[in-house]
Every structure is written in structure tokens, then in C-alpha cells.
Structure 1
Amino acid sequence: MDLEIPTRFERDWNDQADTPVRFAVIGLGGFARNTALPAIEAADYCETTVVVSGSPEKAREVAEEFDADRALSYEEYGAGEGSEAYDAVYVCTPNALHLPHVETAADLGKDVLCEKPLEATADRAERLVAACEDGGVTLMTAYRMQTARSIRWLRRQISDGVVGDPVRIDGEFSFSLLDGGDPDQWRIDPDLAGGGALMDIGVYPINTARFVLGEDPIAVRATAHSTRPAFEGVDEHVTAQLEFPAAVTATCAASFGAASASRFAVTGTEGRIVVDSVFGIDDDREITVETDGGTVTFDATAPSEVREEFDYFAARGESGPDGRHGLVDMRITEAVYDSSERGKRIELRG
């Protein structure tokens, strides 16, 4: 199979939108302020017109910084104030707070881009999805990897048979969370996050495996554990082996207490593709393709995938990773924890 090495990665979707989508950004933590809001500002088809926070002072400060029209408290947002000033909401609060904010958006008839994972539990995620379906609004799960140009290119190579039939996927994402980090942060609060490394970063290799294969796993075996008191009640380390149809397996590992790693590899019957520095925000990715024809390594230079995600939602929200897609990952994460606790293979329901 001939491989065309791109000199630059282009959008492979029809990027057209008649008017900019006006966003209300709900939750103004570090990711929203440092990454999402600048991405909306740089996007082709989006703008921030409303910001929402539990701190009125922070909301006013961020509204001024990003030239938003309105600054609202959670209570004001929940009461529908300022709803005429936005078309869609981006929910970027801790996981266990997604549901009420999405329910409000659905009641107001506003489309939703919701951060992954959809909620802290599958049951709450199911309620969240149902609220959007009942309200007739679009719900997209914010899987930025699915809009990254290089990962979409990778998916096409797998589909085109560049490495033959897929046999195995290996994905890992790890770093030392507490080196200079806040030990009281919500990402390791079981009530707010629903888990630890799996819920925050383990979903990246899991969902990317689903995306590049175009299939969902049928069973999982996993181990999840912690070794330090700061991670009591959540997983510090997790490894899951997913079984896909046609005997394809994916080993997905994540850790909040290991050396930095960010790698994704697809091995097939006729070759292998490896992406290094893959899951971090705006990583400089390097792709290596190994086939019978030789080995080639090149840089995967592309624009911010967070910006791509917002533009994709604005132009193509109906065809993105929807709520039902995000719900599958919630069921996978629960199966991972179940498998670890029971020490057995868990079959996933369709």
C-alpha cells in the first residue's frame, strides 16, 4: 500500500458555517481560561459572548479579558438570564457538575459541547444524554483527539489498509500529577471526578482506539490501583485491555504517578504506525510508519486541536462524537473499575 506523507495536514471536513456560533462558557477553571477560551477566540466560526462561574468576580474578570458581553453566576445561568446572548454552551466544570448545566441548556433550547467524560457516572451521563434528546438539542462530547488533523489522517490510513488488518493498539498517557500540583484538586476527588487517572486521562487512549478502528469494544480486563495517600478513593494507575471485534485488542494505560508518556501505536498484519507525544494539548506530534517498504518518520504539524474542536462543532455538530458516543465510554470506564475490583473479564453490553 502506497503511503502519501502530508507536507501539512488539512481539514478533511466541509468547514462552512453561515454565522459564528455564540458560546456561553460554563466553568472558568485553568483549562477553560488558558486553553478553551483562547481557542474559541482563534476559531473561524465561534465567539464567546457569555461566561459563567461560581465566582461573580472571576466571571467579570474573564468577561473583560475575552471581551464577552455577559458575566453570569451559576444561579443566573440556571434561571435563564442572558440566554438571548448565546446559541450554544460549552460545559467545562468538574465532571459531577455537568448534568445540571446541560439540563439547563436543553431546557433553553441551546446546543451543547460538553467536556469528557460526560459525567461522573454512567447513570448521570445517561440522564444528561436523555435531557438533550428530549430537548431536541445537539450534544457533542468534547473529544478533541477526534478533530485533531493528524489523528483523523491516522484513522484514514488504518481504514485504507496501510498497515494491513489491525491486530493490536497500544496507548499510554501518564505524568506526575502532584509534582508542583494541588493535592486537593477536583480531578482526584471521587465525588467530583468519579475516579482518578482513568476518568481524566485514561479516556484518551480508550476513545482514540474506538475512533481509529471505527468500532466499540466487546469486553475489558483491567487493573486500577493507587499507592499514595493523596489518591485514596481514586485510581492513580490504570491499565485496561479492550477486546474489539475481529480479535483486535487495545491496551490502554494511564497514570497520575509515573514518568511522562504520551504515545499511541497501531500494529497491523503488514505494518505499524506510532504517534509520539500524542495526547497532550497542542503536542508536537511525531509519526512513524513502518511497512515492508521501509520506515518513515515525520512531524505532524497542525493547528490547535481545541480550536479545531470548536470549529467542528460550529460547522458539523450533528456529525461529531455525540452523547451516545460519550455514553459508551462511561460504560467502558465502569467496566474497567468492575473488572479491577472483581479480577475478571467483563463483557460490555451493546
Structure 2
Amino acid sequence: MAKAIRVGIAGLGMMGQLHAKHLINMPGVEVTAACGTTHAKAEAFCASHTGGAARAYDDFDAMLEREQLDAVYICLPPYAHQGQVEAAARKGVAVFIEKPIALSTDIAERMVAAIEEAGVVSQVGYHNRFGTAVQELKRLIDDGTAGAPTLFDGRYECNSLHSPWWRDRSLSGGQVFEQAIHTYDLAMYFFGTPERISGFTANLNHQEAEGYTVEDTSAAVIRFRSGAMASITASNNAVPGQWNSCFTVICSKLTAHFKGANKAEFIFTGGAEPVRREVGSELDVYAAENESFIAALRGEGPEACPIREGLRSLRLVEKVMKSADEDGKLRDYE
């Protein structure tokens, strides 16, 4: 029997708990350590999510030093990404990291350099890439069936104050950085490298909310090197208790209307008459991304979304926000 993959988790909030749930149910994977902001929180996490099998830590470096880990999941808020990736890479430990991978491209570039220099496996938590309908459209674009990509029209919306750190731009980067980045990533996944960007943001409905310094409304227009374009909007003024993402992708021979990553209507327009096809499944995209990472770690599959992809999408949203800070001034991607 192959040696079990030993995993440590840093950041024990919603995403850390979600990944732990999937990992403990995967054959040949053991969650052996967890690191939280306090030892008590880490102990509680270990008791509730691993039956006490994992060891609790409140110091990431101590966890790396004392445990023989094969991989670490970094599920920390953006502001707390402070050298953990680099430390893991130096130890030869694979890294799964949630988005955004940093609050600036300068920090992200150091993370990418450490991972690539060490040659360890990495993955960014862009779970939407694993959706059934997303994967099908990607295949049809890559093999030419969809024709030339022309337009990505995406929207992300919710209505919540979230955690105190989330509504502080200096800690989260804002909604574009922390939430809508999933939509920006999909635009790049389908269309490739951006060229020119213009963005606008505003706080239209949360001026009185304590500590709220992030945008609640945003819009960006992007032109890609291929000539394709994207319009991406986000709102924190929509329906309370709902987090919705939808997008349309128009190619010269196919229009796809997505209702999330798993479900879409594909309309093929390359023939005499349009042909409609529903694409959908109930795939758990979080389970799929975990399975992909562990397979890559075992040498049984490619790195589906290595850390450099996190840098690419971070650069895009950083340009959107810099443009917005300058009243929509056009920005070059590179």
C-alpha cells in the first residue's frame, strides 16, 4: 500500500473546514496537523474534524518543523499570507492555497518564485475551473469547436457585511480581490492573457457600516491579447443570504449561458440552425479540486491550477483596482 499523504491545514475558518471535510474522506490521505490563531481553536478543530487524530498548533513554523508533512493547505485571509508559502517550499512541502494568494503582485511573485525554485506541487483554490460545464466549454474552445472567443460577460453578487477583516480593504483587498476574482480567473481561463483594463468601483450602500472601506459596486472592461473582450461586474447590494455567480461566453460558433460552474446552456451557431444543448451535473467542485491536487502530488495527474495562475489573476484584479482608483484610467496588464 502506498504511503499516506500527510496534510497540515493553516487557517481554520470556513475554507479550512471545508477542505478538511473532503480530505479526511479521501483514501490514503491523513490530516495530521492544524494551525489556528490560538491553540484552543486548533484543538477544537482537530477534535471536531479529525476525531483528535491531528495535532494542534498556533504557530505555522512550529507545525512545519515538527510535522513530516507532504502538503499544507493555506486557508488564511489575504492579509495573513506572510511567508507561509515560502517556508513550506523551503521544506519541500506541496502547497494548496486559497485565493487571492496575496494582497499585491510583489508578494505573490516571491511566493511563486519560492514554489518554482523548490519544484514542489502547488494549486490555487479556483474551484470553478473544475465545474462540468466550465470544463466542457474549455475543451470546445481548445479544440476549435467553439470558434474564436469574442466576449465574456460575468457577474458576481451578494449582500453581506461578512467578517470585519473582509470589509476592511487593507486586509481583504475588497470584493473584486476576495470574491469576484473567481469570475476574473474564469475569463482568463477561457480567453488567455489580458492586454488593457479599465475599472470603476464605488461604495453606494454601505457608507454607514462600521469599518466598511471596500467597494460594494464594481465594473471592469478588459481587452485580451487575442482581441476578445470581457465585462465583469460585482455587487454587495443584491439579495441578502445569496451568493450568486453567472456568466455568458460568446464565441464565433457557440454561445454558452452559465448558471454556475456546473450548469450551462450551450447554443451551437456554426450550422444552418442553432443547436441547443444543456450541460450540467451535481459535481462537488470542492471535492474535485482536492482530488486533483492530491493526484498531482502523487504524480498521477497534472497541476491543474499551479500558483502562477494565482499570480496571473491577482495581477488582473490589481490592475482593475488601480484603474478604479484613477477614475477608470486605462491600465496595461503587463
Range into which the TM-score falls when normalised by the shorter chain: 0.7 to 0.9
Confirm whether residue 345 of structure 1 aligns to residue 330 of structure 2: yes
Matches within 5 A, 1:38-57: 38-44=21-27, 46-57=29-40
Q: Which of 287, 306, 312 pairs up with 2:292?
A: 312
Counterpart CA distance in 2 for 1:112 and 1:22 is 12
C-alpha distance 236-37 of structure 1, shift in aligned 2 (>3 A): same
Structure 1 residue aligned with 2:228:
248
* Structure 1 residues 191 and 134: CA distance shift in structure 2, 3 A: same
Distance 1:246 1:347 in 2: 14
Residue of structure 2 equivalent to 1:239: 219
- Contact 1:46–1:311 (8 Å) recurs in 2: no
Q: Determine the structure 2 residue equivalent to 1:80.
A: 64
Measured in 2, the distance between the counterparts of 1:136 and 1:160 equals 30
- SS at structure 1 position matched to 2:233: strand
Rounded Cα–Cα distance in structure 2 between residues aligned with 1:19 and 1:288: 43
1:286 alignment partner in structure 2: 263
Q: How far is the alpha carbon of 1:286 from its aligned partner?
A: 2.9
Larger displacement relative to structure 2 (37-46 or 144-153)? 37-46
Task: Give, in whole Å, the separation in 1 of the partners of 2:160 and 2:245.
Answer: 14
Q: Distance in 2 between matches of 1:170 and 1:151?
A: 14
Matched, 1:209 2:187: yes
SS at match of 2:79: helix
Distance in 1 of aligned mates of 2:151 and 2:28: 37
Partner SS for 2:238: strand
Residue 19 (structure 1) shift: 4.7
**1:159-196 deviation per Cα after TM superposition (whole angstroms, max 9, x unaligned):** 23444221101111111123xx55x2x22222321x21
Contact 1:241 1:251 survives alignment (8 Å): yes
Structure 2 residues not aligned, in runs of 5+? none
Q: 2:129 matched to 1:146? A: yes
Rate the CA distance shift 1:38–1:189 in 2: closer, same or farther, 3 A: same
Q: Residues 205-235 of structure 1: CA distance to partner in whole angstroms, max 9, x if unpaired? A: 111111123x111111111121223374322
Q: Does 1:124 align with 2:107?
A: yes
Which one-letter code corresponds to 1:246 in the other structure?
A: S
Which residue, out of 86, 91, 107, partners 1:103? Answer: 86
Counterpart of 2:245 in structure 1: which amino acid? S
Cross-structure match for 2:6? 22
TM superposition shift of 1:204: 1.0
TM-score, normalisation: structure 1: 0.83
State the match for 1:258 in structure 2. 238
| One-letter code aligned to 1:29 | G
CA distance in 1, matches of 2:79, 2:171: 5
Q: 1:220 aligns with which of 197, 221, 224?
A: 197
The CA deviation at 1:250 is 1.0
CA distance 1:226–1:76, change in 2 (3 Å): closer
Q: How many residues align?
A: 319
* Aligned equivalents of 1:146, 1:239: Cα separation in 2: 22
| CA-to-aligned-CA distance 1:104-161 (integer Å, 9 cap, x gap) | 2123221111111111111111122222234332232221122333311121122234
Match in the other structure for 1:191: 170
SS state at 2:221 partner: strand
| Matched AA of 2:274 | G
Does structure 2 conserve the Cα–Cα contact (< 8 Å) formed by 1:129 and 1:139? no
CA RMSD after TM alignment: 2.3
Q: 1:303 aligns with which of 275, 280, 283?
A: 283
Q: 1:14 maps to which residue?
A: none
Question: Within 5 A, what are the aligned runs for 1:151-166?
Answer: 151-166=134-149
1:327 paired to 2:311: yes
Q: Given the alignment, which residue of 91, 98, 101 partners 2:74? A: 91
User: Which residue of structure 1 lines up, in the alignment, with residue 53 of structure 2?
Assistant: 69
Q: Give the secondary structure class of the aligned counterpart of 1:339.
A: helix
Q: Secondary structure at the match of 1:43?
A: coil
Contact 2:121 2:303 in 1 (8 A): no
Q: In 1, Cα distance between the equivalents of 2:56 and 2:95?
A: 18
Describe the superposition over 1:10-55 as per-residue Cα deviations: whole angstroms up to 9, x where unpaired. xxxxxxx95542210111012222x221122333563322111112
The residue type equivalent to 1:110 in the other structure is V
Preserved CA contact (<8 Å) 2:35 2:59: no
For structure 1, the 5+ residue unaligned runs are 1-16, 279-284
Deviation at 1:92, TM superposition (A): 0.2
Contact 2:184 2:317 in 1 (8 A): no
Distance verdict in 2 for CA 1:276–1:337, change over 3 Å: same
